A and B are shown apart, each in its own frame.
Chain A
Amino acid sequence: MSVPGGDAARTGGDTRFKRLDAAMRRQQYRADALLEVLHAAQELFGFLPEQVLAHVARGLALPLSRVYGVASFYNLFRLAPRGRHDCTVCLGTACWVAGGRDLLAGLEEAHGAGPHQTTPDGQLSVGVVRCIGTCGLAPVAILDGEIAGGQTRDSLLRRVKGWRAP
């Protein structure tokens, strides 16, 4: 194990860190695998908390600034936790022309969460993506990873509604 010691204390026995270590080991702790490692970390933790970034920095022997710099540069890496459910609206050109903006406005009006925001109850995060390449179905929303095409303000709100029920 080339990761410096004291990890058990630092990570409080969280097994996800063990799996993150395994992911780094698979990449032979190479600095150029930073994006792959961050992808793996986000998959494990749901987002990239500072503790995880520090862990990755130690593992790959990189300055934390470099790890944070990369994590904050790319749109898909999240530095804050997301809600339990995720509704991402596509704003690629075809979706935008077909009314993607209106979907976002509808979500904001009904749930008070704008792009990249989460409702206070932690149930719903609203995201934006610039084209997922399913333009034939425009406008598209992605509901917890599932692509839903041909959405209207009403149809989308209906699908999201159940998520916020107590």
Chain B
Amino acid sequence: MNADELLAAAEREAGKRGAARHRVGVCCSAGCLALGAGQVKGALQRGVAEAGLDGQVEVFGTGCLGLCHAGALVRVESRDGASGPAAPTLYQRVGVEDAARLVRDHLLGGVPLADRRVALDVPFFARQQRVVTSGFGALDPERLESALATGAYQGLLKALTELTPQEVVGEISRSGLRGRGGAGYPTGLKWSTVAKAHGNQKVVICNADEGDPGAFMDRSVLEGDPHRVLEGMAIAGYAVGADQGYVYIRGEYPLAIARLRTAIEQAEQRGLLGQRIFETGFDFRIDLRIGAGAYVCGEETALIASVEGRRGTPRTRPPYPAQVGLWGLPTLINNVETFGSVPPVIRNGGAWLAAMGTEGSKGTKVFALTGAVVNMGLVEVPMGMTLRQIIFELGGGIRGGRTFKAAQTGGPSGGCIPAPYLDLPVDYESLLQVGTYMGSGGLLVLDDTTCMVDLASYFMEFCRDESCGKCVPCRAGTVQMHALLRAVAEGRGTEADLARLEELAELLKATSLCGLGQGAPGPVASTLRHFRDEYLAHVRERRCPAGVCRMAPGRPRPAGEARR
């Protein structure tokens, strides 16, 4: 496919869209599919055919429509006449039995179903700013043409035909984009390091090993708009001088794997990946590597080991993968959402993204909003929006009229943010100041029924199970910390145990080999900092204020007594 063919294909598909009176997008993400979206889509397609609306109505599967707890979700875009603006309607909790009346009342009669309709002018939708998720609802992730109509691969075209590799890196630097996997390393700086690294063979890896429990941003992007990620990787390949890319994706995401496979095949078939892309001298191949359930493989050196077919254990850095990575080659590793941000930055210029967000954190962030919040689902908001806005405006507040207790970010390496910090702007720096970090985007809202000791114990158990065992502080430390936390939770702990926990937290943070061990004490340290009273209630009064923990029979040991 050359430049003219790309633009012609995009225009043809856009023309078809303009001609359709209704476009009916059924959310076909894993969540909605589990709620029967596949059957709903089939029923709608049959209903449309029976009503003789073929050609006037397009029924298609699309990416995450946001309100994941209220699926199956269906979005209808209707047009009055050829030139009229498209008016969207969103339906929630749509079942197969609703398909017939949706066709009859809405598509034929023009009257939306009142009992299934969700208002789109509420903050949950209106306050979002979509960069990475802009195609959700508009495109069918299983059809390349559908992605092309939303501008897919036009960023790659521009990069290859109008910009030098240095200029591409320059645009990324100018955009202020930072790594969306959690650590927030400046993307432009990473790209330029790999671009400058010696060697005529380099590799690009997309880290799609989204392991944080409670996080599904990357799953949603890969399921909803896989071509965007492939395009971002190809642009990166051009910028740093790589001709090979890998997507390392976790085995727990079968649907995302399937969609990626389809997307890679389609792109190869049309020459958007492969040799001499857009008739330039640029070659770029992308292969999939499927993980097998190891959280530590989200760490970049462990990920590289896994791609090489070995046990996913990390190694010391430096040298960083940018210099010595996969098979010893200079390797660029970015997260799914980071690559997903790249195509619009190249299409619109770096200044476009830099105009969003805060001083130090540009652009938007996708969050998986879950837990005790009314509107659970996927949101993309400008950096710097406050927690209060995200949780109480977009999220609609706390479920069941309960009280907000804390927000947990950063997964097992993160921390908890208590109520006094609700007005904190959510960006990389602010979160660090209160003892947590941005993380990949899991935002778990906790109400007063959650015990913070129990939560800390949960995350420590996770880290204990997922520790690869290579370094002692993490392997042994997570076991000890988890045992101490269980003792505290069950009323067998003492204040000396709390001091020991704090001591071990420092030790693990300072001496572990990789981010898993360094981050493992995060939830403990942050809950000890913000919810010390709860810990004290467990050890002094043998009482769980949230009523979660069951106390072991007997009295606590006196402080300082040796354990076993």
User: Contacts of B292 on A, CB cut-off 8 Å?
Assistant: 35, 38-39, 74-77
Q: A136 and B31 in contact (CB under 8 A), knowing A73-B312, A94-B444?
A: yes
Contacting pair A92 B213 (CB below 8 A): yes
Residues in A115-166 with C-beta less than 8 Å from chain B: 129-138, 140, 146-149
Interface membership of chain B positions 279-311, coded 1 if the CB is closer than 8 angstroms to chain A and 0 otherwise: 000000000011111110000000000111111
Contact of B219 among A39, A74, A133 (CB under 8 A): A133
B477 within 8 A of partner (CB): no
Shortest beta-carbon distance, A138 to chain B, in Å?
A: 7
In the complex, chain A residues 1-46 whose Cβ is within 8 Å of any chain B Cβ? 30-36, 38-39
Listed residue (B211, B372, B444, B459) with the most chain A CB atoms within 10 angstroms of its CB: B444
With a cutoff of 8 Å between Cβ atoms, the chain A residues found around residue B216 in the complex are 131, 133-135
Pick the contact of A147 from B30, B308, B370 — CB < 8 Å?
B30
State in angstroms the CA–CA spacing of A38 and B290 once bound together.
11
Give every chain A residue within 8 A of B290 (Cβ-Cβ). Answer: 35-36, 39
Residue of B nearest to A72 (CB): B311
A137 in contact with B35 (CB, 8 Å): yes
A94 and B214 contacting across the interface, CB-CB below 8 Å: yes
Contacts of A148 in B (CB 8 A): 34
- A91 at interface (Cβ–Cβ under 8 A)? yes
Contact of B458 among A30, A93, A133, A140 (CB under 8 A): A93
Excluding A69-B311, A135-B370, 5 further A-B contacts by CB distance (< 8 Å) are: A34-B309, A93-B371, A93-B458, A137-B69, A140-B34
The interface centre, meaning the residue of A34, A73, A75, A133 with most chain B CB atoms within 10 A of its CB, is A133
Check B408 for interface membership: any CB of A closer than 8 A: yes
Determine if A97 is an interface residue (Cβ-Cβ < 8 Å). yes
Q: Does A47 contact B (CB under 8 A)?
A: no
Which of A130, A133, A140 has a CB less than 8 Å from the CB of B295? A130
Chain B contacts of A75 at CB under 8 A?
292-294
Contact A135 B34 (CB under 8 A): no
| Residues in A whose Cβ lies below 8 Å from that of B368 | 133, 135
Collect the chain A residues with CB atoms within 8 Å of residue B211's CB. 130-131
A93:B444 contact, CB within 8 angstroms: yes
Interface size class of B (residues with CB under 8 A): 35 or more
Q: Does B340 contact A (CB under 8 A)?
A: no
Contact A97 to B450, CB < 8 A, known contacts A135-B368, A137-B34: yes
Residues in B with CB closer than 8 Å to A66 are 310
A136 touches B376 (CB 8 A): yes
**Given that A35-B309, A36-B290 are contacting pairs, would A131 and B69 also be in contact in the complex, using a CB cutoff of 8 Å?**
no
Q: Is B377 among interface residues, defined by CB-CB distance under 8 A?
A: yes
Residue in chain A with minimal CB distance to B450: A97
Does residue B215 face the partner (Cβ distance < 8 Å to A)?
yes
Name the contact of A92 in the complex, choosing from B34, B214, B468 (C-beta under 8 A). Answer: B214
| A135:B212 contact, CB within 8 angstroms | no
* Alpha-carbon distance A148/B35, docked complex (angstroms): 8
A149 touches B34 (CB 8 A): yes
Is the pair A131, B34 in contact by a Cβ cutoff of 8 Å?
no
Whether A70 lies near B251 (C-beta < 8 A) is no
Number of interface residues, chain A, beta carbon within 8 A: 38
Complex interface: chain B residues within 8 A of A32 (CB): 307-309
Q: Which 6 A-B pairs have the closest CB atoms?
A: A136-B68, A75-B293, A133-B216, A74-B292, A92-B213, A147-B34
Q: Does B531 contact A (CB under 8 A)?
A: no
**Which residue of B is nearest A148, CB measured?**
B34
Q: Which residue on chain A has the smallest CB distance to residue B297?
A: A74
Tell which of A74, A91, A149 touches B213, judged by Cβ atoms closer than 8 Å.
A91
* Closest beta carbon of chain A to B130's beta carbon, Å: 18
User: Does B442 touch A at the CB level, under 8 Å?
Assistant: yes
A-B contact pairs, 17 of them (CB 8 A): A30-B309, A32-B309, A35-B289, A36-B289, A66-B310, A75-B292, A76-B252, A94-B371, A132-B252, A135-B368, A135-B376, A136-B67, A136-B376, A138-B370, A147-B30, A147-B34, A149-B35
Which B residues, 399 to 449, have Cβ-Cβ distances below 8 Å to chain A?
A: 408, 411, 442, 444, 446
Q: Is there a chain A Cβ closer than 8 Å to B171's Cβ?
A: no
Cβ-closest chain A residue relative to B311: A73
Among residues 260 to 296 in chain B, which have CB atoms less than 8 Å away from a CB atom of chain A? 289-295
What are the residues of chain A within 8 A of B252 when measuring CB–CB? 76, 129, 131-133
Tell me the bound Cα distance from A111 to B317 in angstroms: 47
Given contacts A73-B294, A76-B251, contact A33 B34 (CB under 8 A): no
Cα–Cα, bound, A138→B455 (Å): 16
- Do B371 and A97 have beta carbons less than 8 Å apart? yes
Q: Which A residues are in CB contact (< 8 Å) with B352? A: none
B253 in contact (CB, < 8 A): yes
Closest Cβ of chain A to B229, distance in Å, is: 16
**CB-defined contacts of A34 to chain B, threshold 8 Å:** 309-310
Given A97-B446, A134-B34, does the pair A70, B68 have CB atoms closer than 8 Å? Answer: no
Tell me whether B320 is interfacial, beta carbon within 8 Å: no
Q: Shortest CB–CB separation between residue A109 and chain B, in angstroms?
A: 16
* Residue in B closest to A38 when the chains form the complex, CB atoms: B292
0 or 1 for each of A65-85: is its CB under 8 Å from B? (1 = yes):
010011001111100000000
A97 and B376 CA atoms in complex are apart in Å by: 14
CA distance A74 to B308 in the complex (A): 14
B187 to chain A, nearest CB (A): 24
Nearest B-chain residue to A39, judged by Cβ: B290
| Residues of the A chain whose Cβ atoms lie less than 8 Å from the Cβ of B371 | 93-94, 97
Q: How far is the CA of A93 from the CA of B443 in the complex (A)?
A: 10
Q: Which of A31, A97, A140, A146 has the most CB of B within 10 A?
A: A97
Contact B30 A131 (CB under 8 A): no
